[in-house]
Amino acid sequence: MIRVVVIGQGQVASNFVVGLERLKKGEIEPYGVPLADMDLGYNFNDIKIVGSYDVDAGKVGRSLYDVAKMYFNEEIIPEELKDIYVRKGISLGKLQDMPFDIVSLDENNGSLSDVIDLLYEEWCRLKPDVVVDLTTTQYGIVFRDFKKLEETVLKNNRELLTPSQVYCYSLIKYVENVRSAAYVNCIPVPIANDPAIVGKMMEAGGLVLGDDGATGATPLTADILRHMADRNRKVLSVAQFNIGGNLDFLALLNKERNRAKEFTKSSIVKDILGYDAPHYIRPTGYLEPLGDKKFVAMHLIYKSFNGAEDEIIVNMRINDSPALAGYVVDLVRLSKLALDNEIYGTVYEINAFYMKRPGPLGSKSISKILARRLLGEWVGKAARKPVKAYEII
């Protein structure tokens, strides 16, 4: 059994919980779950959602079934979701620009330590093996030193913190005192890219995976770049942009949040090509009628033999949220597989395939075709020693 807590009961999380229950009943095929056919020691039926958190006043206190009605026709929503209720999370005052009312554990501006104690107590009761972060994108800093992160939390310095860092800090306390667990960070806040967090998790006997799920155009761009590098074609420019109409795209209109995304996406160019070809890679806009099915355009110019200049143009319409939700089905099983084998800290082989900015800090983005091979090898010998974050940096 893998006990899962989801943070951020939005469109990705709702796709995850609805799709998972439908998978368990055999109502859908496991398309979009990359390792569906691989034996990870746990299958879909072993995953149990035990808790969910949000800060949207329209979601907190409602069942996952009711929240799913915001995204799906009622006929496909599994009855099992009627028994799980959305709990109040933490916001640190970072969501004022969002188009909904906020309720959160920290709304009265009390001390963060008290909020963390509350969360900790809830997690002692929920006993999660894996906590999955699917909250709204935030811009966060790398602390590097756990003492610095701890001091910032204890001094109640909300300005420097994101909710994800506080959730993860609270899970570290749980790992230290109760049992091993993993934090899977699907958003751009540096969690698996922060040696403070990875190092502490390794010491405590827990795991972090991240950062920022790689689903839409970024993995395809990474594979095309590898294709160019393997053929010694000189890439002269890369343009890639996304326009979508879901809440995630609306949130990215905020400059700081967009900066966080741009940072996680752009590292692929230099990492894969070995030189920094001029590029523009970022979510560019919000257009409500597109809904969750975003429009992606990609354009590459490159030089081939005898000075010839070629171009690649790709246009796509992609359902954004189900893509990441399918990955989460793997990520929770891989987390448990790692924990069972006492693999702590973080695992580059998992991050490199599923994430835009694979931790630990300082590790490279590689093409997803290569990453998939590494991941298969890692699963094959799952008891391998973990990558030690502080050795790589």
Ligand X SMILES: NC(=O)c1ccc[n+]([C@@H]2O[C@H](COP(=O)([O-])OP(=O)(O)OC[C@H]3O[C@@H](n4cnc5c(N)ncnc54)[C@H](O)[C@@H]3O)[C@@H](O)[C@H]2O)c1
Question: Residue 205 or residue 285: which is nearer to ligand X going by CB?
Answer: 285
* Window contacting ligand X (CB under 6 A); options: 23-31, 111-119, 132-140, 232-240: 132-140
Question: Residue 359 or residue 386: which is nearer to ligand X going by CB?
Answer: 359
Total residues binding ligand X (CB under 6 A): 34
Q: What is the torsional sign of CA 387, 328, 342, 164?
A: positive
Write the interaction track for ligand X spanning residues 83-122; mark x where CB under 6 A is met and - where it is not: ------xxx---x---------------------------
Q: Least distance in Å: CB of 168 to ligand X?
A: 12
Query: Is 323 an interacting residue with respect to ligand X (CB under 6 A)?
Result: yes
Question: Residue 54 or residue 330: which is nearer to ligand X going by CB?
Answer: 54
Q: Least distance in Å: CB of 389 to ligand X?
A: 22
Query: Is 53 an interacting residue with respect to ligand X (CB under 6 A)?
Result: yes
Query: Is 7 an interacting residue with respect to ligand X (CB under 6 A)?
Result: yes
Applying CB under 6 A, among 2, 4, 6, 8 the residue interacting with ligand X is: 8
Applying CB under 6 A, among 170, 185, 321, 363 the residue interacting with ligand X is: 321
**Closest C-alpha among 250, 329, 236 to residue 280:** 236
Q: Least distance in Å: CB of 80 to ligand X?
A: 20
Contact residues toward ligand X (CB under 6 A) are 7-13, 53-56, 59, 89-91, 95, 134-137, 163, 186-187, 212-213, 215-216, 246-248, 320-321, 323-324
